[in-house]
Amino acid sequence: MKSAFNLRFSILTLALLCVAAGSSALTLGKARSAVLLGQPLDLTIPVGLGPADDASALCFDADVFYGDVQLEGSRVSVSVQPSTQTLSATVRVTARTAVDEPVVTVYFRAGCQHKISRKYVLLTDVA
Q: What is the pLDDT of residues 4-33, one digit of tens each?
A: 656 666 665 655 554 444 445 778 889 888
The pLDDT of residue 55 is 65
Contacts of 11 (CB under 8 A, 6+ apart): none
* pLDDT (tens place) for every residue of the chain, 127 residues total: 556 656 666 665 655 554 444 445 778 889 888 899 999 999 999 988 877 666 667 889 999 999 999 999 999 999 988 677 777 889 999 999 999 999 999 999 988 888 889 999 999 998 6
Q: Are 45 and 58 in contact (CB under 8 A)?
A: no
The pLDDT of residue 21 is 43
CA dist., res. 117 & res. 102, Å (int): 23
Contacts of 60 (CB under 8 A, 6+ apart): 78, 80, 91, 108, 109, 110
The pLDDT of residue 22 is 46
The pLDDT of residue 50 is 76
